[in-house]
Amino acid sequence: MEAIQITDAKKYFYTRKKPGERHEQNVLMRLLRPAKEIVPAVDNITLNVKKGEIFGILGPNGSGKSTLIRMLSTLIIPDSGSLKIFGMDISKESLKVRRFINRVSVDAAFFKKLSAWENLSYAARLYGVDTKTARSRAKEILASLLLDEEKLDEPLENLSRGMQQKVAIARALLTSPVLLLLDEPTTGLDPVSKRQVQQYILKMRAIHDTTVLLTSHDLDEVDRICDRLAIIKDGKFLVCDTPENLKKNYSKNGRLTSLEDIFISLTGQDLTEDGTE
């Protein structure tokens, strides 16, 4: 079964024109010229992800990867094309889709005045997980992420950004989703915590056959855990294959090329270049 089916998906945003672009001398032209321009964030993307697959998306800031995640999360809808989760259309059956997914983003939202546990228990209730089971599972997940148990009852605003990100990851894993959407989930974590998150993702796949869609700026992370990956730029996929095949296909003089070299060669950009999505 296909966990994700994306066909010719497009999403456009309107952005304000730069200052000075509307200084025509002709008053009529100033009135007729639009104050905004259309920018494609996701441009005619087609993708199938199998159940139980871990699929990675690499791209610089502003490439469209987070927009794609938001669409799959049912937070925004495509302007054209279709996106289906386990055969359900995200535009027409969003409430059903949400029962199968959970999401971690780099800018996870919380009730900052409440404790980590209060935030987690709220999320658990939304998915029908009883409090006792949720508390036990939260302790197990956070222990695997090296977050002390006593931090569970600390207000979120008192925790560091890295600790808050661990709570966000625990919140997503708490419900054992069949589709996990991860938008730069390990940003702000130390190398040991990053590795723990990666191991837990692999564990989720092994135990629950969880499908994972991961966006990341960490090339080693994508190489380590993803079955396949795509490189995206300006809302378009430039290439899609397994990490091993990509390195073989772009090898030089019989020597495997790194994902970093492939990324720079295809995009001409650095992963950390500024932009918006």
pLDDT in tens, 107-164: 767 888 888 888 888 888 877 788 888 888 888 888 887 788 888 888 888 888 888 8
22 within a domain of the structure (yes/no): no
Residue 95 shares a structural domain with residue 127: no
32 within a domain of the structure (yes/no): no
149 within a domain of the structure (yes/no): yes
Residue 62 shares a structural domain with residue 43: yes
126 within a domain of the structure (yes/no): yes
Indicate the residue among 148, 176, 204 that finishes a domain: 176
- CATH number for the domain spanning 60: value is 3.40.50.300
Going from the C-alpha of 9 to that of each of 36, 69, 150, 162, 215, the distances in angstroms are: 22, 12, 45, 34, 18
Give the pLDDT band of residue 34 (cuts 50, 70, 90): low
Residue 165 shares a structural domain with residue 273: no
What pLDDT, on the 0 to 100 scale, is given for residue 24?
47
Buried b (16+ CB within 10 A) or exposed e, 121-151: bebbeeeebeeeebbebbeebbebbebeeeb
What pLDDT, on the 0 to 100 scale, is given for residue 238?
94
In terms of Cα–Cα distance, which of 82, 106, 54, 67 is closest to 234? Answer: 67
Domain count, the chain: 2
CB atoms within 10 A of CB 44: 14
Helix (H, G, I), strand (E, B) or coil at 66: helix
20 within a domain of the structure (yes/no): no
Residue 87 shares a structural domain with residue 185: yes
Residue 223 shares a structural domain with residue 132: no
Burial of 157: CB neighbours in 10 Å, binned 0-12, 13-18, 19+: exposed
Rounded Cα–Cα distance for residues 211 and 179 (Å): 5
Going from the C-alpha of 17 to that of each of 13, 37, 116, 143, 211, the distances in angstroms are: 12, 6, 42, 49, 40
Length of the chain: 277
31 within a domain of the structure (yes/no): no
Rounded Cα–Cα distance for residues 186 and 263 (Å): 20
Residue 112 shares a structural domain with residue 249: no
Residue 85 shares a structural domain with residue 186: yes
Residue 92 shares a structural domain with residue 216: yes
- In the block, which residue shows the tokens 């994508």? 222
pLDDT in tens, 150-207: 888 888 888 888 888 888 888 888 877 899 999 888 887 888 888 888 888 898 899 8
Taking the whole predicted model, whether its pTM rises above 0.85 is answered as no
Residue 67 shares a structural domain with residue 10: yes
Indicate the residue among 176, 209, 225 that finishes a domain: 176
Determine the structural domain holding residue 152 and report its residue range.
Answer: 107-176
Residue 163 shares a structural domain with residue 206: no
pLDDT in tens, 113-129: 888 888 888 888 877 78
Residue 204 shares a structural domain with residue 275: yes
Residue 264 shares a structural domain with residue 156: no
User: 140 versus 19: which is more confidently predicted?
Assistant: 140
Nearby residues of 221 by Cβ (< 8 Å), 6 or more positions away: 186, 194, 198, 214
24 within a domain of the structure (yes/no): no
256 within a domain of the structure (yes/no): yes
Indicate the residue among 132, 153, 176 that finishes a domain: 176
